[in-house]
Amino acid sequence: MLRIIYMGTPDFAVPALEALIRGSAPGAVLPEGYEIATVITRPDKPSGRNREIVYSPVKQVALAHGLPVWQPGSLKRAENQEALAAYRADLFIVAAFGQILPQAVLDLPRYGTLNIHASLLPKYRGSSPVSAAILQGEQETGVTIMLLDAGIDTGPILFSRAIPLRGDETTASLTQRLAELGASTLLEVLPLWIGGRLVPQPQDHALATQTRMLTKEDGRIDWSRPAEVLARAVRAYIPWPNAYTTWRGKQLKILSASPTTDGQGEPPGMVSLEMLPGGGARVLRIATGQGSLLVDRVQLEGKRAMSADEFVRGYAQIVGTVLE
């Protein structure tokens, strides 16, 4: 019986855990069968206005299926490494766990530590690979099943699977799509890896690109940039930090927008009103450094999200202004 420890925290890590739970039932795909010894996730933390304790998505799924959950905090501490070793696990599986595992941890399981990464490595290593793929206008992205080493997504690759991008994805929608892809790919890889039928392939580090954790400031719109770039940023920053500008001292989130080549000669940030073809709803047309951004959904600070048409009915004075 193969003993697995699963490590993950956010929604991205849920489909793979659910796939393992289904796969560990009678008729499992692994030749020798397996069991999930425990699920490790980040410690609970308060959230929201009332600071109520919220379980991570992975913990919620684990508890719902009666799996043991361990929340030790940092696995760099010697006492946690000793407790981890006591599980005598054969394989660790990691998906968006939220901390870098030290070599002493990686050395514990005989089959190593597999990681599900949301990009086609060595491209877009690090913490924001999905947003990066959208920002850069990639035509495809995918998932990589890799062996973890002490670096940040630098370990050898076991398997990669690519998917085409349509050009309308947000980070939220694409993350879910890649999470499902990662789950199905993991179940394909596991029996091959355990059965000795996969040879890890070193990454070409010369081709590597690195991503970093996004900050609130990343979402601030610079209207001097091209409309095509800003439209990608709007999609890349959903659900966080959101692309936003400032109007009358308040934050105005741009929630949905498309680029157009119209608007040359107007100062970047200039707002006008445009009717969609066929007498449809009105949208805000905002001039940029190259072309214009047609905005059809916004959210003013302290207000609910709404269509641009509805927003203009309540705030018509935005037309003709230049946004910061």
Q: Summarize pLDDT for 66-125 with one digit per residue, the tens.
A: 999 999 999 999 999 999 999 999 999 999 998 999 999 999 999 999 999 999 999 999
pLDDT 10s digits, 260-273 = 987 668 999 999 99
Q: Say whether both 129 and 204 belong to one domain.
A: yes
Q: Listing from the earlier edge strand, what are the strands of the sheet with 2-8?
A: 69-70, 34-40, 2-8, 91-95, 113-117, 140-147, 157-164
- The DSSP symbol for 231 reads H
Query: Which pLDDT does position 24 carry in this prediction?
Result: 54
**CA-based max dimension of the chain:** 69
The answer as to whether 323 is a domain residue is no
The answer as to whether 15 is a domain residue is yes
- The DSSP symbol for 97 reads -
Query: Which pLDDT does position 275 carry in this prediction?
Result: 86
- The DSSP symbol for 205 reads G
- The DSSP symbol for 201 reads B
What 3-state class would DSSP assign to 22? helix
Distance (Å, rounded) from C-alpha 1 to C-alpha 196? 16
Domain boundary among 157, 178, 211: 211
Q: Say whether both 238 and 157 belong to one domain.
A: no
Report the amino acid identity of residue 9.
Answer: T
Percent pLDDT > 90 in the chain is: 87
Q: Say whether both 257 and 305 belong to one domain.
A: yes
- pLDDT for 46 beyond 50: yes
Q: What is the mean pLDDT of the chain?
A: 94
Q: How many domains does the chain have?
A: 2
Q: Say whether both 241 and 262 belong to one domain.
A: yes
Can you give the pTM of this predicted structure? Answer: 0.94
Nearest to 143 by CA among 124, 121, 119: 119
The pLDDT of 202-217, averaged and rounded, is 97
pLDDT 10s digits, 130-158 = 999 999 999 999 999 999 999 999 999 99
pLDDT 10s digits, 303-312 = 999 999 999 9
The answer as to whether 299 is a domain residue is yes
The answer as to whether 289 is a domain residue is yes
Q: Say whether both 73 and 199 belong to one domain.
A: yes
Domain boundary among 193, 211, 229: 211
Q: Say whether both 146 and 183 belong to one domain.
A: yes
Query: Which pLDDT does position 279 carry in this prediction?
Result: 66
Q: Say whether both 195 and 220 belong to one domain.
A: no
pLDDT 10s digits, 1-13 = 899 999 999 999 9
Query: Which pLDDT does position 32 carry in this prediction?
Result: 56
Q: How many residues does the chain have?
A: 324
CATH number at residue 112: 3.40.50.170
For the purposes of burial, counting CB atoms within 10 Å of the CB of 200, is it exposed (0-12), middle (13-18) or buried (19 or more)?
A: middle
Strand partners, 4: 36, 91
Distance (Å, rounded) from C-alpha 257 to C-alpha 5? 42
In order, the DSSP letters of 49-65 are TTTEEE--HHHHHHHHT
The answer as to whether 324 is a domain residue is no
In order, the DSSP letters of 258-283 are EEES--TTSPTTBEEEEEPTTT--EE
For the purposes of burial, counting CB atoms within 10 Å of the CB of 53, is it exposed (0-12), middle (13-18) or buried (19 or more)?
A: exposed
Q: Say whether both 38 and 75 belong to one domain.
A: yes
The CA angle 274-308-171, to the nearest 5 degrees, is: 115
Q: Say whether both 115 and 243 belong to one domain.
A: no
Q: Say whether both 147 and 270 belong to one domain.
A: no
CATH number at residue 284: 3.10.25.10
The answer as to whether 193 is a domain residue is yes
Q: Say whether both 160 and 289 belong to one domain.
A: no
The answer as to whether 179 is a domain residue is yes
The answer as to whether 103 is a domain residue is yes
- pLDDT for 33 beyond 90: no
Q: How far is residue 255 from each of residues 167, 171, 218, 230, 239, measured CA to CA in Å?
A: 16, 12, 15, 12, 9
Distance (Å, rounded) from C-alpha 145 to C-alpha 156? 9
Domain boundary among 167, 187, 211: 211
Q: Residues 234, 288: contact at Cβ < 8 Å? A: no
Query: Which pLDDT does position 263 carry in this prediction?
Result: 66
Q: Say whether both 113 and 188 belong to one domain.
A: yes
Query: Which pLDDT does position 308 carry in this prediction?
Result: 97
Strands 125-126 and 113-117, how do they pair?
A: unpaired
Query: Which pLDDT does position 22 carry in this prediction?
Result: 87
Domain that holds residue 171: 2-211
What 3-state class would DSSP assign to 10? coil
